[in-house]
């Protein structure tokens, strides 16, 4: 029954494997992921001064996300190494949270949703590291793919 | 006013720095973090067969978490390199989610909450990578510190 | 005399270099390597219970091998970075040993035999780490290429 | 029966874990491992000229081994990160083989036999990479611990 | 004549080794290094707006330096892995250059001058990457240790 | 005014990003960079014996440079991961210095000048590490691109 849903990274015996993609086409692919860090008003005030982001604080989170996207295959065991061709990250203080979103683009043989998710998750970790002395209870929330494009499956977009 | 809360990783000018901890005492410290991956009943059924976890699937997430904990200072820019002395991770399928929790222990000069959070977040990423062909909408939720112990500040425990 | 055999990674003066492959064709290539870990009956019994592999034990070795294959250019100084497109590893307890074999596939400009060998060697190291408390004398044996395919040289197969 | 031999890196349920060593004493520890690469007379002649090692060839293997020893916790999933304090590697052409041996020293909480084994195995991989154009059938053989010293268990020495 | 100066990282036969420091005392050590990137007035104007550093540009260089300091033993083959305990980097636009200085602190068995030099050199590389589209001729200059303190040799300070 | 010079790695708001190159052509590209380490006659004598380089000393610097070139995207935050296809490094003792030059080649979507610069800078760091016990004041000087070729911009060559 190959129409039955399957975990693609384990074989019939349950053994992990890296799925062979050498026969897949090179095409332009992109993925957007998002999430947020929930924190206190006190932290949100520290992150902004007169409405402007303060110094390196948000920049550190952005950069951590970009660098982590490049290291996705080192972190996610069965992920293929991919030549990432572009990453944009936004880290935006909002009401009771800091919103994080990332778009990753490539021209390669597999999708980049894991790279986009890794970018968001690690930007969140870096942000928590910056603020944990003031808010030890901050949390990373709702890290998920919003949209992916390209490849055989084409456009997938999250229904809200 | 040094009693005012501050972002410890940026100096007065907003520049990032790695705070000097060379004068802090070596003491046994531990931190526990948790989170979960929200997914579909279909995936949860695939992860268990007859109530037993299937082959490597959950093991891959556990191992990804342990290895990521060791690489925390490579991922989180201002984190100190720490000699991690023990990591235990649990990845447990539940109702509408897979619960992840991790406890990290060390005998060193700073706490290990970032290591525990990184362990949970990356175990979550690895799990999503395993299941994304079946559930492209899975999300990582509520990654936060539950409890930390040791060092000058002693025990901190999350009120829930 | 360019028909004389040469060490390709050192120049005439004996200096190490990474050979230029930018003019080579992209083609599908694969390599299979194998080896084994020699250990005691006691360990082999612990690795299997009622004939079934025990929990994560063999899975850890498999995963370590897959992850190491991706890191080959970080480990082997003059190896080209290669976009690995598929890895399958088998770790199988046998009579007085645990057999390990790995097949790596790519569509790139150079062969993947170093990736396959690295996969087998590191799976062996990870396995020894798991069993060394019970058998401190375990050894890695006979790690070699069995077969490679693709590229200008085409099929090479080991004579037994 | 806790006197029964156990795989230390998996718990009762078979889940992988990094064993907690935070309560172990810091002491000076060392481990020596060895192995060899079996190859052809043609390669052995190329590696030596007038009895002297040729340029960087053996040096590359030595350096690859030293660098890999430092990266052991990145490669071997359940290995503790250890502050390596000294590494000496010998790579010596002999009759039908190149002998490799490595001694690693530390003052830390766990032994360094995995670091010594990793050093030998990766030096062997680097050597094979250097010679594979001339001898595609070279193999890594007999990588094992010869001797370890320090810590609670004290001296262990391999019986030949 | 052991009073004769020697290259400490090669033995009598010229083979590379990582010198054993396991018998050295743990003490607080620090090192300061500096250097600069020479570039055009056009770039210097772009890096500052109204006298203020522009967005992430200088922050990226600072962060690259801090992260590279942590990875020194991965980059410099015979360097010991060291638990870095603090890093401060300054990246300051001046007349015809951007000045870079870094101070690294640790409580460990060997000095941290390589970590400070690596921090400055990689901050310089990251800065050149940011500006190379405008000034392809920018150069890294005069990267050297200014001062080191701690350990058996005590204070060393550069004579100008 | 898109004719105005711009820092390509920061957007209009000053936020760091990895520029999208997925639409750029794959073409053969190369870059040559150079620099030197200034040191004392005493060190230069130690590096050569009877006019010949001594053992591994210069080889370690060469190899460190090659390996660092492969790790450029790990070090330089906004650099694209690139499939490096060839690296040649020369490390040559001269009058009052050790000259270092490196040529990197690829067939990919962006240039390799950062890889060539990283190769030279890290070879310099490794060399300083080898000689610092004899000359603690050695410095890295004049690390810059000499020439780059390929891609849309074609040949760029440094005017002396």
Per-residue confidence at D53, pLDDT binned at 50, 70, 90?
A: low
Q: Minimal CA–CA distance to F67: which of F113, F29, F111, F122?
A: F122
**Can you give the pLDDT at residue D7?**
74
* All partners of chain E with 3 or more CB pairs under 8 angstroms: A, B, D, F
For chain B, the C-alpha Rg in angstroms (whole number) is 18
| Mean local confidence (pLDDT), F22-35 | 93
**Can you give the pLDDT at residue F148?**
96
Per-residue confidence at D3, pLDDT binned at 50, 70, 90?
A: very low
User: Nearest-5° angle of CA E41, CA E45, CA E51?
Assistant: 130
Tell me: pLDDT of E5 over 70: no
B72-104 tens-digit pLDDT: 999 999 999 988 999 999 999 999 999 999 999
**Can you give the pLDDT at residue E101?**
97
Query: CB contact, 8 Å: A157 with chain B?
Result: no
Least confident piece of the model among E64-78, E128-142, F28-42, F55-69: F55-69
| Mean local confidence (pLDDT), D130-136 | 91
The sign of the CA dihedral F35, F40, F46, F48 is positive
| Mean local confidence (pLDDT), B35-48 | 92
E67–A56 C-beta distance less than 8 A: no
Residue of A124 and E5 predicted with greater confidence = A124
How does DSSP assign D59-113, residue by residue? HHHHHHHHHHHHTHHHHSTTPPP--EEEEEEEEEE-SSEEEEEEEEEEEESS--H
With beta carbons under 8 A apart, name residues in chain F contacting D67. 67
Size of interface C-D (CB pairs under 8 A): 192
User: Nearest-5° angle of CA E125, CA E63, CA F131?
Assistant: 55
Tell me: pLDDT of F51 over 70: no
Q: How far is B83 from chain A (nearest CA, A)?
A: 18
- How many Cβ atoms from other residues are within 10 Å of residue A68's Cβ? 28
Q: Are strands E84-93 and B27-38 parallel, antiparallel or unpaired?
A: unpaired
D17–B88 C-beta distance less than 8 A: yes
E15, E73, E109 member nearest D70 (Cβ): E73
A99-136 tens-digit pLDDT: 999 999 998 889 999 999 999 999 999 999 999 988 99
Which residues of B carry out catalysis? 129
Select the residue from B87, B106, B122 to test the D interface by mutation, using most D Cβ atoms within 10 A. Answer: B87
Query: CB contact, 8 Å: A26 with chain F?
Result: no
With beta carbons under 8 A apart, name residues in chain E contacting A62. 56
Query: Would you give the DSSP letter of residue C160?
Result: -
Query: Would you give the DSSP letter of residue C7?
Result: -
* All partners of chain B with 3 or more CB pairs under 8 angstroms: A, C, D, E
How does DSSP assign C62-115, residue by residue? HHHHHHHHHTHHHHSTTPPP--EEEEEEEEEE-SSEEEEEEEEEEEESS--HHH
B133–A7 C-beta distance less than 8 A: yes
Q: How far is B108 from chain E (nearest CA, A)?
A: 10
Select the residue from F60, F89, F130 to test the D interface by mutation, using most D Cβ atoms within 10 A. Answer: F60
F20, F78, F83 member nearest A85 (Cβ): F20
Query: Going by C-beta distance under 8 Å and a sequence separation of 6 or more, which residues neighbour residue D114?
Result: C125, C128, C129, C132, D72, D76, D79
User: What residues in chain C have per-residue pLDDT under 50?
Assistant: 1-3, 50-52, 54
D52 close to F55: Cβ distance less than 8 angstroms: no
Per-residue confidence at B3, pLDDT binned at 50, 70, 90?
A: very low
- Range 66-125 of E in CB contact (< 8 A) with A: 67
Tell me: pLDDT of F54 over 80: no
Tell me: pLDDT of B50 over 90: no
Q: What would the two tokens of residue A4 be?
A: 């039955």
| Mean local confidence (pLDDT), E24-38 | 95
A49-99 tens-digit pLDDT: 644 454 577 889 999 999 999 999 999 999 999 889 999 999 999 999 999
| Mean local confidence (pLDDT), D68-84 | 95
Q: How far is F145 from chain E (nearest CA, A)?
A: 7
Select the residue from E87, E89, E112 to test the B interface by mutation, using most B Cβ atoms within 10 A. Answer: E87
With beta carbons under 8 A apart, name residues in chain A contacting E74. none
With beta carbons under 8 A apart, name residues in chain A contacting F21. 85-86
Contacts within 8 Å (CB) and 24+ apart, E3-9? E5/F42, E5/F46, E5/F133, E5/F134, E6/F46, E6/F133, E6/F134, E7/F46, E7/F47, E7/F54, E7/F57, E7/F130, E7/F131, E7/F133, E7/F134, E8/F130, E8/F133, E9/E78, E9/F57, E9/F60, E9/F129, E9/F130
- The CA distance from C15 to C8, in Å, is 11
Tell me: pLDDT of B2 over 50: no
Query: CB contact, 8 Å: E23 with chain D?
Result: yes
B7-24 tens-digit pLDDT: 778 777 778 889 899 889
Size of interface D-F (CB pairs under 8 A): 18
Query: What number of residues does chain E have?
Result: 160
Query: CB contact, 8 Å: C132 with chain F?
Result: no
Tell me whether residue D129 is one of the annotated catalytic residues.
Answer: yes
Tell me: pLDDT of F56 over 80: no
**A114-138: b (≥16 Cβ within 10 Å) or e:** bbbbbbbbbbbbbbbbbbbebbbbb
The domains found in chain B, sorted by start residue, are 27-150 (3.30.70.640)
The answer to ipTM > 0.85 is yes
How does DSSP assign F97-126, residue by residue? EEEEEEEEEEEESS--HHHHHHHHHHHHHH
**Can you give the pLDDT at residue E65?**
97
Query: Going by C-beta distance under 8 Å and a sequence separation of 6 or more, which residues neighbour residue D160?
Result: none
Q: Give me the helix-helix angle, A113-131 and B113-131, nearest 10°.
A: 160
* All partners of chain A with 3 or more CB pairs under 8 angstroms: B, C, E, F
Per-residue confidence at F55, pLDDT binned at 50, 70, 90?
A: low
F131–E113 C-beta distance less than 8 A: no
């Amino acid at each position: 029954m190959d129409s039955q849903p399957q975990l693609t990274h384990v074989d019939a015996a349950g053994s992990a494997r890296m799925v062979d993609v050498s026969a897949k086409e090179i095409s332009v692919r992109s993925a957007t992921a998002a999430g947020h860090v929930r924190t206190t008003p006190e932290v949100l005030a520290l992150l902004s001064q007169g409405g402007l982001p303060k110094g390196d604080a948000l920049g550190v989170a952005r950069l951590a996300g970009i660098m982590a996207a490049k290291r996705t295959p080192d972190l996610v065991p069965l992920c293929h190494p991919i030549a990432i061709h572009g990453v944009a990250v936004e880290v935006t203080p909002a009401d009771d949270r800091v919103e994080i979103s990332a778009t990753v683009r490539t021209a390669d043989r597999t999708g980049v949703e894991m790279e986009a998710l890794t970018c968001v998750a690690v930007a969140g970790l870096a942000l928590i590291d910056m603020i944990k002395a003031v808010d030890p209870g901050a949390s990373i929330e709702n890290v998920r793919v919003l949209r992916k494009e390209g490849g055989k499956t084409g456009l997938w977009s999250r229904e809200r």
